[in-house]
Chains A and B, each alone.
Chain A
Amino acid sequence: MSLRNIGIVYRKELTDSLRDRRTVISMIVVPLLIMPLLTIGMGILSVTLVGQAMKEIPKVMILGGEDSPGVVAELGQLKDVRIVPAKPDFAVEISDKQIRAAVEIPAGFEAKLAAGESSTVKIYMYEGELKSGFGADRLQRFFRELRDRTIREHLQARKLPDSLVRPFDIVQKNVAPPEKVGGAILGGLVPYFVILLCLTGAMYPAMDLTAGEKERGTIETILCSPVSRTHLVLGKFLMVLTASIATAVLSIASMAVSFGAGKKFLLGVTHGAADAALQITITGKAVVSIFFVVLPLAVFFSAALLALSLFAKSFKEAQSYISPLMIVVVMPAVAALLPGVELNPALALVPVLNTSLVSKEIITGTYHWNLIALIFLSSSIYAGAALAITVKLFQREDVLFRT
C-alpha cells in the first residue's frame, strides 16, 4: 500500500473538485445556507404566518337562535369574531374560506338552559385549516364559558358548592429538562438533515470522479499511469469522503450557529414566551459525538456512491442509479422522526436509521454508550464492505470499460 500514491491522487482530485462550481455548491454553499434557512427562515415564516392568522378577526355565522336572543346578543358583542348574516350554504362558504366557522343554536336553547334541560350546540369548521380552527375555538370557548356560568347559576340556586361538579383538578407537569423537551421535538430533524447532507455532499464528486471521468475520456489516461487501481480508487474515495465530511461538518457548525441566532430572534419575536422547541441547545459534546457516529456512515455513503457511479457509463446514467438511493436513505432517516421509534439493539444494526436515532438521543443529552459502540461498529462494518466492493469493482475491466 503506497500512501504516497494515494496522497498524490487525493490531492489532484481535491484540487480538481474545488475548481468545479457544482462540487463547491453541494459541498460548501448548500450546508452553509440550508441550516440558517431552515431555522431562522422557517422560524420567521411560521411566526409571521401564525401571527397573521391570529390577528385576523374570523367571520362566523349564527344558524338558528331566533328564540335565544340573549345568547345571540352576547355573541354579537364578542370583539374577536365578526358575525355575518346566516346563509343556507354555510358549509360551502366555510370550505371556500369565505367564513371561518358557523355555530348552530338549537331551537328553544335559552328556554332549555333555564329549565335545566340538555341540548347540543353544533360548531361547523374546516378541519386542519388554521384560521377556521381559531374561529371555531373562539366559539367553543364562548359556549364553554356559558355552560360553566349556567352550571354555577343552577348550583347557587340550589345552594350547592361549585366543587360538586368539580371535585378535583388535574394538572400535568413536565419534569424533563427543557433541552430534552426541545430535543425531543426538534432533535429528530437535525440528524435527518445532517445525514441527508452527508449523502448529497458526496453525491456530486462521486459521480464526477467516476462516471464523469468515463464520459470525459480521462479514465483511460489515468489507467496508463503506473499507480495501482487500488491506490487510484482509494485516492478518489478519500476525496468523496472529504466532500461528505465537509458537508456534514459545515452543516453541523452552521446548524449550531443558526440555532443560537434563531433562538435569540424567535425569543425576541415571541417576547420571551418561547415554547419548549426553542429550548434546544446543542452542546459541544453533542456535536463531537454526532460527528463520530456520522463518520462511518459518511464512509459508507462515499463508497456506495462511488461504486454505483463507477458502474455507470455517463454522468446521466449515474444520476439515474443514485436517485433511488436518496429514497433508500431518506426512508430510514425519516423513520427516526416517527413518534414511538426508539433506539434498541435490533435497530442499532439498521444502517442510517441507527445513526439517525442515536443522534436524536445525543441531542437530547442521552448517551447509551453500549448502543453507540454497537452502532459505530455495525456502521463501520457496512462501510468497510461497501469500500471493499468499490475497490473490487475498480479492478474489473467490464465495469471500467462498460459500453
Chain B
Amino acid sequence: MIEAHHLVKRFRDKKRGTVCAVNGVSFSCRPGEIYGLLGANGAGKTTTLRMLATILAPSEGTAIVAGYDVAEDPQNVRSRVGFLSTATALYGRLSAREMVEYFGRLHGLDELTLRRRIDEIFARLEMNDFRDRRCDKLSTGMKQKVSIARTLVHDPSVMIFDEPTVGLDVMAARTIVGFIRECRDSGKTVVFSTHVMSEVEKLCDRIGIIHDGKLLAEGTLPELRARYGMQDLEDLFVRVVEP
C-alpha cells in the first residue's frame, strides 16, 4: 500500500534559486493495483517516485509505504520496496549472480534463503545461461532481467518503476511490461511512471496526470475519458496540462 500526502520537494538551484519540483502531490495505490503517473519530462514524476523510494527526503508532506513513513523510517520502507528505473544501473564488473546476491545480502537475507531465492528468480526469468557472466558483457535485455532480479530478490510488497522502458528495444520493453503485470497479479502494490500513452493504456488501473509538480487529474482511464469527454489519451493529456 502507498499513501502519499501532500508531497513537496524543493531544490536549491544556483541559477534558478529555489525550485519546487513536486508541489503537494497526494495519491494512494492499493495492493494488486498499478497506479500510473503520467507526465512530460520534468513534470516531477522521478522526484515523486524517488521520495516514495526514500532516495530523496520530502521537503514537506509525507508518504506511508508498506506501512512505514518515508521520512521517519526510510530503511524499513526500502526493505519492502523494489525500485527500478533506467537510472538504476548494474555493477559492470560483477556477474549477474553476484549482483543479485549483493542486494540480497544488503536486504538481510541469510545465505540459504538467498541461494533458494536466486535459483527461483533465475529460473523464472530464464537467466541461468548468463548467471556467471559479467554484467558489462550482457545485452540490454539480459541487463534488464538482472535489474528485475535485483528488485525482486527480497520479495518486496511494493514495486516502483520510473520510466522503466525508456531507451529499450521492443523485446526488452515487453519483458518489463510483462514483469509489471506479473507484479500486480501477484498482489504487489505497483506505481509506474511514464510519458508513453500506450503503456498507460495497457497497464494502469488508475492514472495520475502530473504537470509542473502538481497532480492535475486522477482516476481510472474510463473515468478520465468520461470526465473530459475524450477517447484519445494523448488528447486528454494535452487538455489536462494545457487547459
CA A216 to CA B92, docked complex, whole Å: 9
| Contact (Cβ within 8 A) A224 B78 | yes
| B98 in the interface (beta carbon within 8 A) | yes
| Known A217-B87, A220-B87, A228-B75; contact A15-B106, beta-carbon cutoff 8 A | no
Number of A residues near B (Cβ < 8 Å) is 22
| A221 near B89: Cβ-Cβ < 8 Å | yes
Check A226–B90 contact: CB distance below 8 A: no
Q: Which of B102-123 contact A (CB under 8 A)?
A: 102-103, 105-108
Nearest residue in B to A224 (C-beta to C-beta)?
A: B83
- The stretch of B23-31, B53-61, B175-183 that contacts the partner chain: B53-61
CB nearest neighbor in B for A221: B88
What is the number of residues of chain B that contact chain A, defined by CB distance less than 8 Å?
A: 30
Specify which chain A residues have a CB less than 8 angstroms from the CB of B89 in the assembled complex. Answer: 216-218, 220-221
Contact B93 A20 (CB under 8 A): yes
A226-B93 in contact (CB<8A): no
**A12, A217, A226: residue with the most chain B Cβ atoms closer than 10 Å:** A226
Q: Answer yes or no: B12 CB below 8 A from chain A CBs.
A: yes
* CB within 8 Å of B: which A340-380 residues: none
In the complex formed, the residue of B with least CB distance to A16 is B93
Please tell me which one of the listed residues B87, B88, B91, B106 contacts residue A5 in the complex, with CB atoms under 8 A apart: B106
Cα A168 to Cα B91 in complex, Å, equals: 79
C-alpha spacing A9/B91, complex, angstroms: 13
A227 touches B (CB below 8 Å) = yes
The 0/1 profile, CB within 8 Å of B marked 1, for residues 1-18 of chain A is: 000010011001001100
Q: Are B87 and A226 touching (Cβ within 8 A)? A: no
Are the C-beta atoms of B12 and A398 separated by less than 8 Å?
Answer: yes
- CB of B56 within 8 A of CB of A8, answer no
Contact of A226 among B92, B94, B107 (CB under 8 A): B107
Query: Which B residue sits closest to A18, measured CB to CB?
Result: B93
Q: Are B88 and A226 in contact (CB under 8 A)?
A: no
Contacts of A226 in B (CB 8 A): 75-76, 78-79, 106-108
**Nearest chain B CB to A396 CB, angstrom units:** 11
Contact check, A8 vs B106: say whether CB atoms are below 8 A apart. Answer: yes
Question: Which residues of chain A (222-237) have a CB below 8 Å from chain B?
Answer: 223-228
Q: State whether B91 touches A16 (Cβ < 8 A).
A: yes
Contacts of A217 in B (CB 8 A): 87-89
A292 contacts chain B at the CB level, 8 A cutoff: no
Pick the residue among B57, B88, B93, B94 that contacts A224 (CB under 8 A).
B88
Give the distance to chain A from B188, nearest Cβ to Cβ, in Å: 16
Rounded to whole Å, the gap between the CB of A147 and the closest CB of chain B is: 74
Min Cβ gap B232→A in Å is: 34
B90:A221 contact, CB within 8 angstroms: yes
Chain A residue contacts of B81, Cβ below 8 A:
224
Scan residues 48-84 of chain B and give those whose CB is less than 8 A from a CB of chain A: 53, 55-57, 75-76, 78-79, 81, 83
In the complex, are the beta carbons of B103 and A225 less than 8 A apart?
A: yes
Collect the chain A residues with CB atoms within 8 Å of residue B151's CB.
Answer: 224
Q: Is B128's CB within 8 Å of the partner chain A?
A: no
Given the known interface contacts A15-B98, A398-B12, the answer about A223 and B90 at a Cβ–Cβ threshold of 8 Å is: no
Q: Is the CB of A225 within 8 A of B87?
A: no
Write the chain A residue with the least CB distance to B79.
Answer: A226
Known: A16-B93, A224-B83, A224-B151. 9 other contacts (CB 8 A): A15-B93, A16-B91, A221-B90, A224-B81, A224-B88, A226-B76, A226-B108, A398-B11, A398-B12
List 10 A-B residue pairs with CB atoms under 8 Å apart, sorted by A's residue number.
Answer: A12-B98, A15-B98, A16-B91, A220-B55, A220-B85, A221-B90, A226-B79, A227-B75, A227-B106, A397-B57
